[in-house]
Structure 1
């Protein structure tokens, strides 16, 4: 069974959308890298808290980690469209309408929509399994999509 194909535009190759499991593999890969980045960000922040652990009533620390997470994903998405996980699993993030690079506004929309997708018990990601175009909620809400970067033998 072949993956659904995106509509072909003049002058552009027809590129298939990756499926659910490939996306989840990239999510796991990127989560491990993000965890390391968050550990580093915590190390940088600790001196500002007198070297003490952050308490549950300190709101700035979680907001700081959310901002670091956005910058992590946003930078990769706006600079080549590939996180390390996306590159490893041969995918790239592009604008859904013209296959161009994603800007910071779209990156922010995608990040916030992906958080929403996870907060709804991952239903935004599971949506890929029933969507004819293999798009998740955050793809629709941000006007982006993932494409496969490898060439298939037909």
Structure 2
């Protein structure tokens, strides 16, 4: 897809080289990998919630369950973003979240980014509701179209950042640790 844009002004990676915005294809790959990891996180969280609330049916207390899962996801992302700037998927794809000055993200900024990152899904969910679609295929089709459309909006940003990052004062950068030096043999 797109090659990394010019170095992000003033930001450097751990090896002192200029920090670049990761290619959109890498960011979307990390996004997909994150989805696979979050499936496990949400399954375990759902099991815990069902056990604690004696939930017998998936639709029983659905709003409370949805709020709980929203908070679990928020805790997951905010904790990782404020403790090293990388979730597990971001580490695998060498992507790090920093503020516009290249510093670690505060919990307030990470929390705002989490809430605004739901912009990925809002257009798809609103169109599903307004068009009256209820099938699984329609849901995933609308979700896919909404995510691709939102991702392509990075083309309108000067540093190719997502719009929720622009609003929050954060940015994604390529973050590769320098190779470890092997001790020399005497």
TM range (shorter): 0.7 to 0.9
TM-score by length of 2: 0.73
1:81 corresponds to which residue?
Answer: 85
1:109 corresponds to which residue?
Answer: 112
2:176 corresponds to which residue?
Answer: 150
Q: Secondary structure, in 3 states, of the residue corresponding to 1:59?
A: helix
Q: How does 1:22-101 map to 2 (within 5 A)?
A: 22-55=26-59, 58-96=62-100, 98-101=101-104
The ranges of structure 1 where at least 4 consecutive aligned residues each deviate by more than 4 angstroms after the TM superposition are none
Partner Cα distance (1:39, 1:91) in 2: 26
Give the root-mean-square deviation of aligned CA atoms.
2.3
TM-score by length of 1: 0.87
Q: Which stretches in structure 1 are left out of the alignment for 5+ residues? A: none
Partner Cα distance (1:115, 1:24) in 2: 15
- Tell whether the 8 Å contact from 1:117 to 1:138 is kept in structure 2 after alignment: no
Question: What CA deviation, in whole Å up to 9, does each residue of 1:15-66 have, x standing for no partner?
Answer: 1101211000001111111110000001101123324123166311100000
What is the aligned residue count? 150
Partner Cα distance (1:126, 1:2) in 2: 14
- Of structures 1 and 2, the larger Rg is shown by 2
Q: Which stretches in structure 2 are left out of the alignment for 5+ residues? A: 124-145, 178-186
Alignment pair present for 1:134 and 2:160 = yes
- Tell whether the 8 Å contact from 2:33 to 2:89 is kept in structure 1 after alignment: yes
- Tell whether the 8 Å contact from 2:3 to 2:23 is kept in structure 1 after alignment: no
